[in-house]
Amino acid sequence: METIHTTETGIGSAAPGKEVKNSSLRVDLNLLDSLMALAGELVLSRNQLVQSVSGKNFKAFETATQQIDRITTELQETIMSTRMQSIDTVFDTLPSLVKELSGSSSKSIDLSIEGNHVELDKTILESLGGPLATLVKFAVSFGIETKKIRKQSGKSETGQLSVCAFHEASQVNIELSHDGIGIDIEELTRLAVLQNLITKQQAEAMGVKDQAALLFTPGLVLTAGDDTFALDAVKLGLDKLGGTIEIDTNPRAGMLFNIKLPLTLAIIPSQIVSVGEEKYAIPQANLKELLRIPAGEVKNRIQTVGDAPVVRLRGDLLPLLDSAAVLNVQKTFIHPNDRKTHPDQRKNIADRRSKDLLKSDTVMKADMGSDRDKRKNTDDRRCRAASALNIAVVSAGEFRFGLVVSEFHDSEEIVVKPLGRHLMACRGFAGATLMGDGKVALILDVLELAQVADLKAFDDLVETRSDELEDSQDEKNTGDDTAILIFQNAETERFAVPLNLVDRIEMVDTGAIEEAAGKHVIQYRGRNLPLYGIEQVAKVGQRPKNDQTAVIVFKMDNREFGLLATPPVDSVETEVNLDQKTFKQPGIDGSTIINGHTTLMVNVPDLIRTVEPAWFDESTAA
């Protein structure tokens, strides 16, 4: 059964109707002989197996099973090798192509081909011809100059075009290079902007590699004399084969295309994982490493950037994707008491105590008063081994992320089979395969999963947010944007404090606030936390009497104290243009406009100095 649906991959005449082409295969006679021998062995072993079962002879049964195991493996390998064909079937067409192209122009080209013997799966080879021919045409028309120009620029009259194939790390590399003129990356970027494929800002933000890859942008048209080229089909064709292409270019000295292809598409080594109750296969080619975060470390290693969970891996932030959420599968876990599978209620990957990198040191906690949360606040809730996180670190194209799965199983060689037409709309699967128990497992398409989860935006988020984070931490208030915390006192008045002063935010029941010696305090972690309101110092409205009050906790000079606030409490990054005239008063620095609202900036040290002058006398005396 064909595993790959080859579709039109090349452009123009380069790839005429490949789907019907070459439906017969030339097989080496020796190979066929060994296949015949294996088939014979298989029949013999089958007979042994049948006999051992009918005679209830366990020993013979074992031997037969072992033999069948060995024969199957050999048979599989041999049959696979019949599909392997040397790359010269594709390379052989190149000389005539080059001759034809150079004949019609005043160019002289010397084509050298290496690595004819390199073998590739038939399906890959069939789809390779189109992209390769397009690249050769492009190299000849666009790259190699006419004899005259070459002479003028001090090159030999004959241009060198070389194509070479070689094995490297279970991949086949094909390099196509010439010594003509290469693509000028700046020129290419300008062209892409001119053809409205990217914006100028995008172009400026790109690295050189990304800019070079613009060559394959759909819609980009290059012109060389009378010829026009669109190379997007090359990339598309290679993508379908699981291949990649890279460019190295020098505007004067030439250009190199490096194509990397997998050896075969039919059988791929994979890591088997389970998500919920079902098993899935992740191709090893996409898999970088497996990560298991012990339950106790979840709160330290898993953090969030906004709503998005990330894991710290050797200093990098790696975005996490919850496979159960992306696939919309009910998560399960095996309960340690009864060893049965139960649905997992956990919604978030990150522990609620995990740090949110956006909120620096602030840990948001809601409903601290309710019973349910008192239980959750006991320290080692996620202590069971079963609640460890299993993360498969995968990469595909430009994406690199961690895929959170329920469990890891073995790594297996799996046979890729296509999914039926009813399932074409399901994204994230490269096909299906059969497991040892006879059940079907789906193969995850890592690239598509990333796209389904809109990880691109997510990736940017991590980058920019972590930049911002660094800014806000390194530069404190000197940068243009300051991280500030916005809250209300009276419901009509908005206040703000710099986020870096805030230790944390708590929600407390108003009833739990006690009054002692003219001060408001709340019992917190076995200590008294003094609470103050802005209205004690500044002339502002009174707080409404709600059941719950937000307490913004500050730590200064080893003293902890809380500022009473009315929710919502929110953090923003914004430019603060302080108006120090209109609202300046004790405890208030002035006002600024945030999101269209006049917001009073609270000067926390000043406020405390006013209500508790004694603290500062002590600290200065000491």
SS3 129: helix
Q: What mask of x and - would describe binding to another protein in positions 461 to 500, judged by CB under 8 A?
A: ----------------------------------------
Task: Find the shortest distance in angstroms from Cβ 461 to another protein.
Answer: 24
Residue list 317-346, contact with another protein (CB under 8 A): 327-329
How many angstroms separate the CA atoms of 6 and 240, rounded? Answer: 8
Residue 424 binds another protein (CB under 8 A): yes
How many angstroms separate the CA atoms of 199 and 207, rounded? Answer: 14
- Say what the alpha-carbon torsion angle 24, 27, 33, 39 is, to the nearest 10 degrees: -50
Return the axis-axis angle of helices 29-54 and 58-83, rounded to nearest 10°.
160
Task: Find the shortest distance in angstroms from Cβ 422 to another protein.
Answer: 4
Residues 6+ apart with CB under 8 A from 123: 2, 3, 4, 6, 83, 265, 266
Rank residues 10 and 428 by Cβ distance to another protein and give the closer one.
428
Residues 45, 47, 48, CA angle at the centre, nearest 5°? 65
How many angstroms separate the CA atoms of 270 and 290, rounded? Answer: 13
* Residue in 11, 72, 63 with CA at minimum distance from that of residue 41: 72
Residue 432 binds another protein (CB under 8 A): yes
How many angstroms separate the CA atoms of 321 and 456, rounded? Answer: 12
Rank residues 167 and 427 by Cβ distance to another protein and give the closer one.
427
Residue 267 binds another protein (CB under 8 A): no
Rank residues 50 and 423 by Cβ distance to another protein and give the closer one.
423
Rank residues 208 and 440 by Cβ distance to another protein and give the closer one.
440
How many residues sit close enough to another protein to count as binding (CB under 8 A)?
25
Residue 172 binds another protein (CB under 8 A): no
Residue 439 binds another protein (CB under 8 A): yes
Residue of the chain from 27, 253, 364, 434 that contacts another protein (CB under 8 A): 434
Task: Find the shortest distance in angstroms from Cβ 324 to another protein.
Answer: 9
Residue of the chain from 139, 268, 302, 441 that contacts another protein (CB under 8 A): 441
Q: What mask of x and - would describe binding to another protein in positions 390 to 419, judged by CB under 8 A?
A: ---------------------------xxx
Kindly report the number of other CB atoms within 10 A of residue 78's CB atom: 15
Residue of the chain from 429, 487, 495, 561 that contacts another protein (CB under 8 A): 429
Please give the C-alpha separations between residue 223 and each of 50, 183, 231, in angstroms, as whole numbers. 69, 12, 12
Residue of the chain from 20, 425, 517, 614 that contacts another protein (CB under 8 A): 425
Residue 5 binds another protein (CB under 8 A): no
Check whether the bond before 568 is cis (ω within 30° of 0).
yes
Quick one: which segment of 380-388, 422-430, 526-534, 580-588 binds another protein (CB under 8 A)?
422-430
Rank residues 68 and 291 by Cβ distance to another protein and give the closer one.
68
Helix, strand, coil % over all residues of the chain, rounded to 5: 35, 35, 30
How many angstroms separate the CA atoms of 470 and 319, rounded? Answer: 17
Residue 281 binds another protein (CB under 8 A): no
Residue 427 binds another protein (CB under 8 A): yes
How many angstroms separate the CA atoms of 176 and 172, rounded? Answer: 13
Rank residues 340 and 421 by Cβ distance to another protein and give the closer one.
421
Task: Find the shortest distance in angstroms from Cβ 149 to another protein.
Answer: 54
Rank residues 2 and 463 by Cβ distance to another protein and give the closer one.
2
Residue 79 binds another protein (CB under 8 A): no
Residue 422 binds another protein (CB under 8 A): yes
* Residue in 507, 500, 499, 484 with CA at minimum distance from that of residue 594: 484
Instruction: Give 497: exposed, middle or buried? Use CB within 10 Å, 0-12, 13-18, 19+.
Output: buried
Residue 602 binds another protein (CB under 8 A): no
Residue 604 binds another protein (CB under 8 A): no
Instruction: Give 622: exposed, middle or buried? Use CB within 10 Å, 0-12, 13-18, 19+.
Output: exposed
Quick one: which segment of 41-49, 143-151, 353-361, 436-444 binds another protein (CB under 8 A)?
436-444
* Residue in 37, 484, 34, 444 with CA at minimum distance from that of residue 274: 444
Residue 213 binds another protein (CB under 8 A): no
Task: Find the shortest distance in angstroms from Cβ 516 to another protein.
Answer: 58
> Residue numbers of the site for another protein (CB under 8 A)?
1, 278, 327-329, 417-429, 432, 434, 438-442
